[in-house]
Chain A
Amino acid sequence: MVRLLLGRLAGLVAVLVAISVMVFVIFNVIPGGDPALRLAGRHPTQQNIRQIRHDWGFDQPLYTQYFDMMNHLFIERDLISYQDQTPVLPAIRRGIPRTLSLAIGAALIWMIFGITIGVLSGLYQGRWLDRVLTVVALAGVSIPIFWLGAVLLYLLTYKYHSWPVFSWIPPGGYVPFTQDPAGWATHLFLPWITLAVVSIGFYARVVRNSLLDTRHQDYVRTAKAKGLSPSRVLVRHTLRTCLIPVVTLFGLDFGAVVGGTVILIEPIFGLEGVGQYAQESVAHLDLPPLMALTLYGAFFVVFFNMLADLTYLWLDPRSRTT
């Protein structure tokens, strides 16, 4: 187990190094993204541009620039953006609670609804409820997430803002939990819903299929034969087993959300988390924050994947032998 864990950790580091090199290379071959020109402003002199190239180390060989950037990112921890020359790490630190607030809240909603709908679907397999829930679930997965956010925002905070049911919904922005818990929740309400809607359907499907698989397995039959009540069988035996794939998937998904999907959703709601920072940096071809944020995103993807695998091992004793 320890060996496995160490192996996985080494893999994680290797992937992050490879990704950082990839990002660095991609952004150094893009023409037109010369940061020296951007720093020089509107009336640059040749002298000025040369000076900036030298001061920022753009005249160094690429590998030196790469190590220099890694040094500023991980050791000196004082990486500066090209776009507005502000420090990168404080900006990320400021974004993390926002992004996690969004992702954790949405994950709670999609897990609760996903499992409930999935179980209902499974229990009524093949009947109309199952079919309707299936289509509704798939409809959720099929909505462009940024579009859903934009349309909800338009409808509820502008068009029908005067309706008392919606008037409490603020038009985007973020309030820290420590400052005003109620404001925190109301500001995150629409983003949570938006993010959850696109995931509920998928989880419902997984739970449903998994439930159908487990219901016919031996130990469930045994439990039934022993005369346990159907609800007890469902909760004690069936649900526990059928949630194993859900946990695995959740790990993958949560990593993917925190490391990626937030890029599409945060700018719509002006949440200013790491996703919005990433979206802005990539649009500005601003390498320093982009490097930090890509590594951050990749870390979440890989780390949660690893966590999911380990949880799977722990939850499902059968897989330990293989």
Chain B
Amino acid sequence: MIDAPPVAAGGFRTALRRLRRNPAAIVSAIVLLMIVFACFPGAPLWVSHACNHGPSDQNIQGTITENGHKVPVVRNDGTPIGPGLRACYLLGADSNGRDLFVRILYGGRISLEVGFISAIVCVTVALVLGILSAYAGGVTDSAISRLLDLIWSFPVYLLAVALATAFAVHGIAVGPIHVASTSLAIPIVVIAIVYVPYVARPIRGQVLSLRRMEFIEAAVASGAGPVKIMLAELLPNVASMALVFLTLIVATNILTEAALSFLGVGVPLLTPSWGNIIEQGYQTIVTAPWLTIAPGLAIMITVVSLNVLGDALRDALDPHARLRIRN
């Protein structure tokens, strides 16, 4: 499906020039930077300067003063206070009396981290498998290809939920490495595994077509070892593709994190993420719709920006590639 010609050495510079002429790409890059800023350095700044409520500080029995009246943060029937123009509880509170705005800022850290780290893991594994499979050929190729087929045929969410549930009870124990069941590593690993075939397959295709090209044959003729060829010759030539994938996979992974958390097997409780803020908020969508709507908008804005950027990057680097992963 991907039949892109290899990007020449000067490709990245040309691409950058093309990107700079695309207003949508520039806007989305700025929005992304703003989101990253708000979540990482911004969150503690907000807590220390605007409102002294951490993301996990609960205040069910507390009150705040509005227009001279004392208003409970959570009413007796469990309904939390809604959004309003104030320093604390700008976007309202949740059922435990926590500040939703602060939770979204801190939750963004987790969602971005999970999306980004799992995308790097996914693309790295896919690069290794894709290049190895295409270059080695033979038994290695068929073994890797069948493995990819298998993961790929497994319905994404069933696979993710099955893996996450399996790991969630007592964690992952591989030899000396033990990952606690409430660790963030679990959703990261699960999300990464699930999308490996979507990236590895096109990379394998790309490498297959590269192998037939003269510069590879020349390298082989000059006596370069397979490892050197894979690292020095093949890797740089699939790098642009991997970069495009990385952007799009981060977007997909943020959505997947949200979906898994929504299904109850994503980021563990106590750690806010956009996904599990929605999951908890959805239970009270009728009385406190802001708890569902606000984190969803945060996801949407981030993912749109990533997708627009990824789309522009693809157009700039590799106009023929058709990449997409269903969320």
Which residues of A are found within 8 Å of B300, using beta-carbon distances?
139, 142-144
| A104 shortest CB reach to chain B, Å | 17
Which residues of A are found within 8 Å of B169, using beta-carbon distances?
30-33
Which residues of B are found within 8 Å of A11, using beta-carbon distances?
149
Query: Residue of A at shortest CB range from B27?
Result: A135
Which residues of B are found within 8 Å of A199, using beta-carbon distances?
326
A134 at the interface (CB under 8 A from B): yes
B311 at the interface (CB under 8 A from A): yes
B154 at the interface (CB under 8 A from A): yes
B156 and A145 contact, CB distance less than 8 A:
no
Measured between alpha carbons, how far is A150 from B293 in the docked complex, in Å?
A: 9
Contact digits for B20-34, partner A, Cβ 8 Å, 1 yes 0 no: 000110000000000
B105 at the interface (CB under 8 A from A): no
**B interface bracket (residues with beta carbon within 8 Å of A):** 35 or more
Interface size on A, residues (CB 8 A): 61
Partner pick for B278 among A19, A147, A198, A302, CB 8 A cutoff: A147
Contact digits for A236-254, partner B, Cβ 8 Å, 1 yes 0 no: 0000000001001100010
B262 and A146 contact, CB distance less than 8 A:
yes
With A31-B170, A150-B282, A198-B327 as given contacts, are A144 and B299 in contact (CB-CB < 8 Å)? yes
A134 and B24 contact, CB distance less than 8 A:
yes
A123 at the interface (CB under 8 A from B): no
A261 at the interface (CB under 8 A from B): yes
A206 at the interface (CB under 8 A from B): yes
Which residues of A are found within 8 Å of B306, using beta-carbon distances?
142
| A4 shortest CB reach to chain B, Å | 16
| B181 shortest CB reach to chain A, Å | 10
Which residues of B are found within 8 Å of A269, using beta-carbon distances?
none
Which residues of A are found within 8 Å of B223, using beta-carbon distances?
none
Measured between alpha carbons, how far is A278 from B169 in the docked complex, in Å?
A: 20
Chain B interface main SS type: helix
B166 and A22 contact, CB distance less than 8 A:
no
Partner pick for A142 among B263, B264, B303, CB 8 A cutoff: B303
A188 at the interface (CB under 8 A from B): no
Which residues of B are found within 8 Å of A302, using beta-carbon distances?
153
| B38 shortest CB reach to chain A, Å | 18
A23 and B162 contact, CB distance less than 8 A:
yes
| Listed stretches A43-51, A214-222, A292-300; interface member | A292-300
A75 at the interface (CB under 8 A from B): no
Measured between alpha carbons, how far is A166 from B154 in the docked complex, in Å?
A: 38
Interface members, chain A 191-244 (any B CB < 8 Å): 198-199, 202, 205-206, 209, 213
Contact digits for A13-27, partner B, Cβ 8 Å, 1 yes 0 no: 001001100110011
A131 at the interface (CB under 8 A from B): yes
B110 at the interface (CB under 8 A from A): no
| Listed stretches B213-221, B236-244, B284-292; interface member | B284-292
Further pairs besides A131-B23, A294-B154: 11, Cβ < 8 Å: A15-B149, A26-B162, A134-B308, A145-B327, A147-B296, A150-B285, A150-B292, A209-B322, A253-B326, A282-B161, A282-B162
Write the residues of chain A forming the contact surface with B, with a CB cutoff of 8 angstroms.
11, 15, 18-19, 22-23, 26-27, 29-33, 131, 134-135, 138-139, 141-148, 150-151, 154, 158-159, 198-199, 202, 205-206, 209, 213, 245, 248-249, 253, 256-257, 259-261, 263-264, 278-279, 282-283, 285, 290, 293-294, 297-298, 301-302
